[in-house]
Amino acid sequence: METFLRYPILLVWGLLMSNLSIAQMDLPADPLIPDLNTRSWFESNTGYSPDPSHFGAYTMEAMQDRMMIGFSSGQPTAQNGALLATFDPQNGISALYQPYEQGIHDLAVEGDRLYIAGIDPCCPDDWSFGNFYTYHSQEGVTKYRNLPNVVHSFGMHAEGDTIYISTGSHTGDFITPIGQIFKSTDQGEHWTHVSSPAGYRIYDIIRFREKLYAVFNDSEGEESLLYSSPDNGQQWSQAGTYAIRHTARLFQFNDQLIGMGADGKSLVVANKDHQVDSIPLNDFRLLLDPNYNVFTQDNHGYLYTFGTTAPHGGPFGPDDDVIYRTRDLHHWETVSKTGKAIMALSYWEDKDWLVFSTRLDTTGLWKIALNSPPLSVREKPAENPVIRLYPNPVTRMVKVDAGNITGGLLSWEMYDLLGKLLARKDLQSSRLLTIDLSGYPDGIYLLKLYGREENFTRKLVKSAQQKNL
């Protein structure tokens, strides 16, 4: 009991948690840069007038205590004007570099260096070569104009000094399209042509386990599919039969590779054995706007994305854009009903912030503080008899009886009262399980149980002696 007496406030909070129904989260989104008129700031630093519908930050990447931001005056590849900026809470936002591009859509951080893909050379660069840029705090921005016949550098995968680029190129006549892959082993200073596997464009590239994966198609308007290569991009074969949204970046999460289904109503997922499947999104759909960075991951084990419950093609506005999160791609919970038209998501580990950008009437940059105890979706009151824990308090082994839960339990998670994830396990529709707490100190824990139709949170007390509170 000594442990409990040291933390009376947490003890009371833990007891209350067991008797309350926990609703969906709706965490507040605060301006990342208060009082900044993003449109006016961009125009004053570039001379380009922002497009009313598509101007904004299409990509953000954290470099420890700074957030690097890529702005586009309009939809990338459609309108001249781009700006690389940096932000930190002490010094605010600063313009770093104005590349000769129709936007910035992809940034990659490798150590103390930032890589910037050139989406579409312009102003006055032409399509003789594609551009690539690197940034270092001591060296500034270095531009390399050395990717022959590249019109669009769509996707980028970085492994230290080695970089792969997926492109929409031409065959040398500035007309005939071809999808090519290039590789650099010296931070973009020199490039080697790897292969030309696509008849039209290659939209993204990423390494997942021992293979490279890419998204491409062979003709304009054709559905894009997922492909894999076992030999660093030399040979490619189709991975699955599911159409994939070509603008959305591929993302690796929990030993799975994730892409956005072409209709926005599903995820295309490759597992660790490279088997590809489709996972439906039953409660919401992802947005089919030209958004590139639609997934991010925090250091608490959650994957984040954004979407809407409005049907595709139906009337909906920015107030429908909602941020969701999951641990297993099957159970999603609402994080924030933003009331804004979201463009991109990123996680700032140094601050434990979710950062997102918006367009239209709410154009700007926003943050959501994540350093709070987790809440869950659609949870039952503790007095509901369908979940039983015994013994509780427990000295070592606790049994969980979920006998009348529809479909059984799919997974469980255990947290301390500060919201730190301590343990997690996937299940196979289990109705009776045993959890070993012998390795944990005496105290109060929150056990989250995920079912097929609803989720539950229960208070669990670990004590060297079984005593009732």
pLDDT at 311: 61
Per-residue tokens: 327? 């641990």
Q: What is the pLDDT of residues 418-441, one digit of tens each?
A: 778 898 888 877 888 889 888 899
pLDDT at 62: 95
pLDDT in tens, the chain (469 residues): 333 333 444 433 444 343 333 236 789 999 999 999 999 999 999 999 999 999 999 999 999 899 999 999 999 999 999 999 999 999 999 999 999 999 999 999 998 999 999 999 998 999 999 999 999 999 999 999 999 999 999 999 999 999 999 999 999 999 999 999 999 999 999 999 999 999 999 999 999 999 999 999 999 999 999 999 999 999 999 999 999 999 999 999 988 999 999 999 999 999 999 999 999 998 899 988 889 999 999 988 899 999 988 765 444 444 468 999 999 999 999 999 998 999 999 999 989 999 999 998 889 999 999 874 444 433 444 334 468 888 888 888 898 888 777 777 888 889 888 778 898 888 877 888 889 888 899 888 889 888 877 778 888 888 866 443 3
Per-residue tokens: 368? 């959501």
Long-range residue pairs from 435-443, CB within 8 A, at least 24 positions apart, any chain = 435/397, 435/398, 435/400, 436/396, 436/397, 437/394, 437/396, 437/397, 437/398, 437/462, 438/396, 438/397, 441/3, 442/3, 443/3, 443/4, 443/7, 443/416, 443/417
H-only helix segments in 23-166: 38-46
pLDDT at 312: 54
Beta strands in 82-149 (DSSP E): 82-88, 92-97, 107-110, 113-117, 129-136, 140-148
Dist CA 164 CA 158 (whole Å) = 6
Per CATH, which fold does 30-369 belong to? Neuraminidase (2.120.10)
pLDDT at 24: 62
Per-residue tokens: 112? 């103390």
| Cβ-contact 42, 77 below 8 angstroms | no
Per-residue tokens: 339? 């009331």
Among 288, 240, 305, 291, smallest CA distance to 268 is for 240
Biggest distance spanned by C-alpha atoms of the chain: 81
User: Kind of pairing, strands 364-369 and 30-31?
Assistant: antiparallel
Task: State the CATH architecture for 2-22+376-462.
Answer: Sandwich (2.60)
Dist CA 162 CA 149 (whole Å) = 21
What sign does the CA torsion over 302, 304, 308, 313 have? Answer: negative
Instruction: List CB contacts of 143: < 8 A, sequence separation 6 or more.
Output: 99, 131, 132, 133
pLDDT at 6: 39
What spatial distance separates the first Cα and last Cα of the chain, rounded to whole Å?
A: 9
pLDDT at 427: 84
pLDDT at 374: 45
No. of H helices and E strands in the chain?
Answer: 3, 36
| Cβ-contact 358, 345 below 8 angstroms | no
Domain ranges of the chain: 2-22+376-462, 30-369
Dist CA 137 CA 315 (whole Å) = 45
Among 453, 326, 434, smallest CA distance to 386 is for 453
H-only helix segments in 18-56: 38-46
